[in-house]
Amino acid sequence: GESVGLHLPTLSVQEGDNSIINCAYSNSASDYFIWYKQESGKGPQFIIDIRSNMDKRQGQRVTVLLNKTVKHLSLQIAATQPGDSAVYFCAAGGFTGGGNKLTFGTGTQLKVEL
Amino acid sequence: DVKVTQSSRYLVKRTGEKVFLECVQDMDHENMFWYRQDPGLGLRLIYFSYDVKMKEKGDIPEGYSVSREKKERFSLILESASTNQTSMYLCASRSGGRRELFFGEGSRLTVL
């Protein structure tokens, strides 16, 4: 079945630096991908999504890159701030026989050092 | 803003007890979901519902059931709780045809 994995369980960056969080997926038929942020004690929050017919999408201080050739996507956070400390998940979605389903990765803990 | 509310943030139950986890969303979303979240395993889908009185099994439905009698409410039921059901449970909702899931704050269940 579909699997989604993140490359590093923990990432530490200095405040002000750029962060790059990576994710790999297995199902080449995935239609879209979403990045979520989960702060301690809270539910996941939507950050940004990208459709499979795109290779880059930008939001406020975030950029998602999609490389379908190697089934890899990344989340780049510019000028990382202490408030960015959280667990980041990628999810792959698609309309299969079972409906519109999301498969989540295990998450990368981003730690911002002052 | 969309609000997904889970009735209990923390619960402690004993093995064999029946457990109800309630979830309510206020945006008239058609789709609702229950996930469990465990370290190293990510979010795993237990059950989902596309409409009132409709339910579909997710990836790990064993030991769980659900109820959706009203559009805004989706309940997860553990008929006889076991220690391996100790976990964080997350409810989510989504408008039909949209991609973004909106999550509740989670219910942390401990089964002793």
| Domain residue limits, chain B | 4-104
Provide the pLDDT for residue A100.
67
Cα–Cα dist A33/A49, whole Å: 6
pLDDT in tens, B54-109: 999 999 999 999 999 999 999 999 999 999 999 999 999 998 878 889 999 999 99
The class that CATH gives domain A4-113 is mainly beta
Chain-centre distance for alpha carbon A63: 10
Secondary structure (DSSP) of A7-29: S-SEEEEETTS-EEEEEEE--TT
Tokens of A98: 């079972």
Fold of B4-104: Immunoglobulin-like (2.60.40)
pLDDT in tens, A57-106: 999 999 999 999 999 999 999 999 999 999 999 999 886 555 567 889 88
* Residue B72 CB-half CA count within 13 A: 9
Provide the pLDDT for residue B42.
85
Average pLDDT score over residue span A16-42:
92
Asked if the C-beta of A99 comes within 8 angstroms of chain B's C-beta atoms, the answer is yes
Which residues 8-47 of A are in CB contact (within 8 Å) with B? 32, 34, 36, 41-46
pLDDT in tens, B16-43: 999 999 999 999 999 999 999 998 888 9
Burial B8-45 (b: 16+ CB within 10 A, else e): eeebebeeeeebebebbbeeebbbbbbbbbeeeebbbb
Asked if the C-beta of B108 comes within 8 angstroms of chain A's C-beta atoms, the answer is no
